[in-house]
Amino acid sequence: MTPASPMPPFTVLIADDHPVVRVGVRNILASAPEFLVIGECSDGEATLDAVKSLTPNLLILDLAMPKMSGIEVLRALRANAPAVCTLVLAATVDRRQTVEVLRLGARGILLKDVVADRLTTACREVLAGRYWLNDQTVTDIVQAMAEPATLQLSDPVATLTARQLEIVNAVVEGRSNKDIADKLSISEETVKRHLTMIFDKTGMSSRLELAMFAVKHGIGN
């Protein structure tokens, strides 16, 4: 009787702009014989090219990369490339981003601070056709996907909460964080946290850019 041939390993492409993350992921997967790392990329454009040329079984994709973000890569993959199972890596991720990457076809999200602990399990799960959602419960995600604000993810204004719109309005008025905190009766720390979320949601990177964005989108007085 001929012995059964071993299953070929799952081929993996690693895309992250930080060398420590790439080395870490590569070393972790090297200890699991069912995975074979066939390529590494450090920006979004190279990732897109590598997916097309290498056709990996699994893409491990960072969200924040130069040239093209992970979100843009997912969009392009959905439009142009053969289907590839994708596990997103992120330093931090909110519910809105989770919903967005799932809508764009990713099978899971793994936070970088649990990569060493959970990577191989997460890879196995998504390659088996299941979802991996870190510590967020399925109920959270289903609820978020049902919220009207998430229905138009291409419209960043629609993703801002009422409080965040108030803060954008205050930025347009030229108020400092302390002024905004006083006006809204919240702490400066809370204002900062809201601003971080607002910058993430709108893709703006400074108060001036945010003010121009607000004027363009008719936010504010």
Interface residues with another protein (CB under 8 A) are 17-21, 23-24, 27-28, 31, 62, 64, 89-92, 111-117, 119-120, 177, 191-193, 195-196, 199-200, 205-207
Closer residue to another protein in complex, CB, 78/175: 175
Instruction: Tell me the C-alpha to C-alpha distance, in Å, between residue 49 and each of 62, 80, 217.
Output: 16, 11, 34
Name the residue type at position 79: A
- Closest approach, Cβ 15 to another protein, in A, equals 13
- Closest approach, Cβ 12 to another protein, in A, equals 15
- Closest approach, Cβ 161 to another protein, in A, equals 17
Query: SS3 for 135?
Result: coil
Closer residue to another protein in complex, CB, 28/145: 28
**How many beta carbons lie within 10 A of that of residue 199, not counting itself?**
15
- Closest approach, Cβ 166 to another protein, in A, equals 16
- Report how far residue 14's alpha carbon sits from residue 16's, in angstroms, rounded to the nearest whole number: 7
**144 in Cβ contact with 127 (< 8 Å):** no
Closer residue to another protein in complex, CB, 51/63: 63
Closer residue to another protein in complex, CB, 21/77: 21
- Closest approach, Cβ 80 to another protein, in A, equals 27
- Report how far residue 58's alpha carbon sits from residue 13's, in angstroms, rounded to the nearest whole number: 6
| CA-based R_g, the chain, Å | 20
Closer residue to another protein in complex, CB, 152/196: 196
Backbone phi, then psi, for 103, in 5-degree steps? -65, -30
